[in-house]
């Protein structure tokens, strides 16, 4: 499911990506890849409150990953949005 979510992100189908990541998270609660994917989809959809909540959760699980995703917090600003567009394509986790 995570890979399907990543492909949906790449295709800019953010609602579908979010659904795939939610399904992946339901299969194994606390799965970092699914949570990161949910954050990226929320970020692209402009759901900044959800982004902040998920980033807090990721920080507890993997502080280094959270640091890589810190740009999403400022994505609500024009400068942050431009940066987020470039960086979101670099921060995906694939599964085998």
Give the global pTM. Answer: 0.77
Q: Provide the mean pLDDT of the chain.
A: 85
Mean pLDDT value across residues 60-74: 92
Rounded CA gap, 62 and 33, in Å? 11
Specify the pLDDT at position 70.
Answer: 92
36 CB-contact burial (10 Å; exposed 0-12 / middle 13-18 / buried 19+): buried
Rounded CA gap, 43 and 52, in Å? 9
Specify the pLDDT at position 74.
Answer: 72
Domain boundaries, the chain: 2-88
Q: Which contiguous run of DSSP H or E holds residue 29? A: none
Is domain 2-88 given the CATH code 3.30.1490 in the classification? no
- Give backbone dihedrals phi and psi of 92, rounded to 5 degrees, phi first: -125, 150
The more confidently predicted of residues 85 and 14 is 14
Specify the pLDDT at position 28.
Answer: 78
Q: Model confidence over 16-59: pLDDT tens digits?
A: 999 999 999 988 776 899 999 999 999 999 999 999 999 999 99
Mean pLDDT value across residues 57-76: 89
């Amino acid at each position: 499911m995570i890979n399907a979510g990543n492909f949906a992100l790449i295709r800019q189908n953010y609602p579908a990506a979010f659904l795939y990541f939610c399904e992946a998270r339901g299969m194994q609660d606390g799965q970092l890849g699914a949570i990161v994917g949910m954050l990226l989809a929320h970020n692209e959809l402009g759901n900044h409150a959800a982004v902040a909540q998920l980033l807090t959760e990721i920080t507890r699980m993997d502080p280094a990953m959270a640091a890589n995703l810190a740009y999403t917090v400022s994505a609500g600003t024009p400068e942050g949005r431009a940066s987020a567009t470039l960086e979101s394509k670099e921060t995906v986790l694939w599964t085998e």
